[in-house]
Amino acid sequence: MGSGESLVQVQRRLLKDKELKIRKALDRLREKRRLLGRQRRRREFPVVSMVGYTNCGKTTLIKALTGDDAVRPQDRLFATLDVTAHAGWLPSRVAVIYMDTVGFLSQLPHSLIESFSATLEDVAHSDLVVHVRDVSHPETELQKATVLAALRGLRLPAPLLDSVLEVHNKVDLVPGYSPSGSQAVAVSALLGHGLPELRARLEDAVLRATGRQVLTLRVRLAGAQLSWLHQEATVQDVDVIPEAGAADVRVVISSSAYSRFRKLFPESASQ
């Protein structure tokens, strides 16, 4: 403590230092997200943004969905500032990026609200928003209202806002829990309960949001179609028909990629 500083002044100075550190961390995160956004748009990976309150279990859920042991859930403020994007796979083997956003707080200092909101701007570029809720928390309904108000404040595209998938986490702490409303999926990220249903719902929502479809295409084995599909789409199955010198290829493909495919290989037929 400086010779002329009172205890209150010291506390104010420490709070200001802490606020400055958080602000710098938020700025770094914002820039990191911008870079990630540019990279993923080049490669056409679907992006799922996880939003929710601090300690709702977002990080644990991402770890459960991706099997990524590098994701370390931590029960402390802004623990996810350094954790941003994680690759996972949907049941159809489509690669997807899960974005772990900064957890909401009940009482965010007014001076930090703008910086905090800025870190959520990239949610607008997602293909799907997943709202993770801790249904064991006594203020879970209030927390839901706060998150939805913040998402509306971001002026998200209407289809994105209308398709938010709600995940009710920590159901293992609420005996006999079942969600009200058909849009919600009840899970325990920690114990793995409800994850198969969640994966199925994620896949359905991501394919719909990104204009991807599952098709079976008849391709010639002698041509370049098969290697092109491996590079530009997600090949699920190849059924070779030797006598025809062809194969039926089951793929998950975006509308834009399918248009390119039909222009390049007009002779290939959809089955």
CATH number at residue 231: 3.30.70
CATH number at residue 31: 3.40.50.300
Give the mean model confidence (pLDDT) for residues 25-46.
64
Same domain, 237 and 204: no
Residues 196, 200, 205: CA angle, nearest 5 degrees? 145
Percent of the chain residues topping a pLDDT of 70? 82
1, part of any domain: no
243, part of any domain: yes
Same domain, 53 and 185: yes
Same domain, 87 and 204: yes
Same domain, 259 and 193: no
Give the mean model confidence (pLDDT) for residues 260-269.
85
Domain boundary among 162, 191, 209: 209
Q: What is the pLDDT of residue 163?
A: 93
Q: In what order do the strands lie in the sheet with 95-100?
A: 85-89, 95-100, 47-51, 128-134, 165-169, 184-186
Total structural domains in the chain?
2
d(CA 243, CA 222): 13
What's the whole-model pTM score?
Answer: 0.76
Mean of pLDDT over the chain: 83
Q: Is the pLDDT of residue 240 over 60?
A: yes
Same domain, 177 and 261: no
Same domain, 203 and 217: no
Q: Could you tell me the residue range of the domain that residue 219 belongs to? A: 212-270
Contact 222, 246 (CB under 8 A): no
Each residue's pLDDT tens digit, 76-108: 444 444 447 788 889 988 888 898 887 887 776
Q: What is the pLDDT of residue 149?
A: 87
100, part of any domain: yes
Domain boundary among 162, 184, 209: 209
Neighbours of 165 (CB within 10 A): 19
Q: Is the pLDDT of residue 227 over 80?
A: yes
Q: Is the pLDDT of residue 70 over 70?
A: no
